[in-house]
Amino acid sequence: MIRKNFFLFLEKMIANQQKNSAGQKRNFNEEQSYLNEQNVEIDVEGGGEVLQDVVLFETGKTNRGNLCLWHEGYCFTRNRGTNVINFRCEQRKCPASCKISMENWKESSKFIEGILGNSGHNHSPNYSKKLAKERRKEILQKIEQTPKKKASLLVADIKSNISDDVSVEMGSDQALGHLIYRHRRRLFGNVDTANNLLDIEFPDFLLNFKGQNILFYDSRFYRQGEEDVVLLFSHPSLFNLLETNNLWLINSSNFIPFKWSHNFTISTEINEKIVVCIQCILPKREIKYFKESLNAIKNLIKQPKAFLKIIFDFDFISFKAASQVFPYAQFYGSMFHFGQNLLRKWRLLGMQNLYSDQIIGKISIKIFRNILTLPLIPQQHVRRAFYLIVQNSPNELNSFLEYFAKNYIGLTLTQKQYGIKQFLKINSPAGEPPDWELPIFCQPKYSIKFWNVYERIHSSVIRTNNYVEVSNSVGKNSIHRPPLSEFLTTFIKDIEKQLEIIQTPINSPQKKKIKRKRLFIIQEEQILETLQQANYEEDGHLFDIITLLGLQIQGYISGLRDDEKGESDDNDDIEGEEED
């Protein structure tokens, strides 16, 4: 009886189509109502009885994402020009067809019932084609996960564990390469292919995270027609956190998208963890672009900050720009980058060649350690401690000590006039004050207050370890100069991690205290104990203190590395780059 009703339903539907002279089709809701009136029960998931002439089709997707049906190695696609329940064999010269009811079908359904047409297939089945289509679909899914992975690697991964029949059915590597290219163009538009940055059009999914726009500043809207594009990315929750926090950390990042030359991040601290709030990419590492991006952030802040502390990575250009945009802020240097910059200069001056002499090499390493301890002692004793180091240094270190005095201590008038000979004079004439008591005539690039961390250790403003460097964890597993699309997808993935840090309760019982390794870090407890017992009155005691501190930071020194990022060259003309 049910089978009879089903065929009566099909006959009536075909008759209605023939009577429709205008060629209009009945809409889907009308078909479903008509199907319900006929009491035709074709529902696999509902547990209905499977009829003798009713077959079970496996559902799939065509290359364009439309519904297709599979049965015994044959593929059926929707028959154009007919209603939604008519399908035909994908081989257009084949007369085979089928009909289904979509009343109870859902997008997630893997199977659906229907009936085959009267005509059979005029070709043999292809069981490998279904698996080949699934593998091609996996390629498209992997493109969305890793948008800029090489096409050859994507194809190799997919074809690694399939049979030769399926591999042939998938198409040649060249054809799959074209498939990957077309899908990337549909996903990312011209974000990675535009020759002119002014022509870039961002697709919505690259600029949205859960409905929130992450593009906070685009210079193309403010400097129309200018190709030196500055882009600033953040998230409303992350920006609000930065806006309400009085401690900022500005750091240059190695994660720089292709066609841009510099990227810097702004982070802040919450629950003893660092949260990266802003990523800003610049066309060049110039002060005007730093100022433009920082002014954009300043304008986005609803309430101007009356008290702000900013910690830098010793990038002098960003420091100079921030001091002009936020003149009321207090500026500090990162302890890690202080040592990193000195290590870079140490090697540029060839000081590592002294290690070949066992005696001079040991003394040189000791002097370098002592120099790195100067940020840990009170500011008023730094100059005296430095000149005590000079008095105990071999002549081979003269060029390095002069560099340090010029950039981190400052020079007196006689040192400025007579150069290194006057600077290295150990004993002052009778009746004259020592060099550390003379006024500074030539100010250093970085003041002692900027790089000294003694007050920060005692006030717990931030740890002396490398908190600023945490921003480089964003994109650390990506290629050095990724395309802009990969830069944005990586940043969007990182947003969720940063938001989890914000939402973690301060006293969460599930929060595990991270045990800090002794290697590559500064042990604050040991240093605090040494500083609390320190006596700075006599020169001998002061030199003993910095020597002891030098031994306590050996792990920190081992963790230093010489890279290309950091302090600008000594001869950089920063003032010449400033805007009027």
- Here the CATH number for the domain that contains residue 278 is 3.30.420
Residue 559, amino acid? G
Regarding whether 423 and 549 lie in a shared domain, the answer is yes
- 305 found inside a domain: yes
Regarding whether 227 and 172 lie in a shared domain, the answer is no
Regarding whether 120 and 13 lie in a shared domain, the answer is yes
Residue 570 has pLDDT above 50, yes or no: no
Regarding whether 527 and 421 lie in a shared domain, the answer is yes
- 576 found inside a domain: no
- 144 found inside a domain: yes
- 580 found inside a domain: no
Residue 495 has pLDDT above 80, yes or no: yes
- 32 found inside a domain: yes
Residue 7 has pLDDT above 60, yes or no: no
Regarding whether 179 and 205 lie in a shared domain, the answer is no
- Per-residue pLDDT tens over the stretch 510-543: 444 444 454 445 566 777 888 888 888 888 899 9
* Cβ pair 543, 388 in contact under 8 A: yes
Regarding whether 17 and 49 lie in a shared domain, the answer is yes
Regarding whether 309 and 227 lie in a shared domain, the answer is yes
- The count of domains in the chain is 4
Residue 261 has pLDDT above 80, yes or no: yes
How many whole angstroms separate alpha carbon 382 and alpha carbon 530? Answer: 16
- 206 found inside a domain: yes
pTM above threshold 0.95: no
| pLDDT value at residue 580 | 38
- Per-residue pLDDT tens over the stretch 303-331: 766 678 898 888 889 999 999 999 888 88
Regarding whether 497 and 408 lie in a shared domain, the answer is no
Using the 3D structure, point to which of 159, 188, 217 is the last residue of a domain: 188
What DSSP string describes 342-411? Answer: HHHHHHHTTGGGGGGSHHHHHHHHHHHHHHHTGGGS-GGGHHHHHHHHHHTS-GGGHHHHHHHIIIII-B
Regarding whether 309 and 229 lie in a shared domain, the answer is yes
Q: What letter would DSSP give residue 143?
A: H
Cβ neighbors of 69 (< 8 A, separation 6 or more) are: 57, 58, 59, 60, 75, 76, 77, 87, 98, 100, 112, 114
- 225 found inside a domain: yes
pLDDT: which is higher, 299 or 456: 299
Residue 52 has pLDDT above 70, yes or no: no
How many whole angstroms separate alpha carbon 196 and alpha carbon 352? Answer: 45
Regarding whether 285 and 428 lie in a shared domain, the answer is no
Using the 3D structure, point to which of 107, 125, 143 is the last residue of a domain: 125
Regarding whether 241 and 291 lie in a shared domain, the answer is yes
Q: What is the mean pLDDT of residues 172-188?
A: 79
* Cβ pair 81, 74 in contact under 8 A: no
Say how many C-beta atoms besides its own lie within 10 A of residue 181's C-beta.
13
Using the 3D structure, point to which of 100, 125, 150 is the last residue of a domain: 125
* Sign of the CA dihedral running 160, 162, 165, 171: negative
- 273 found inside a domain: yes
Residue 48 has pLDDT above 70, yes or no: no
Regarding whether 413 and 355 lie in a shared domain, the answer is yes
User: Which residues span the domain enclosing 33?
Assistant: 2-125
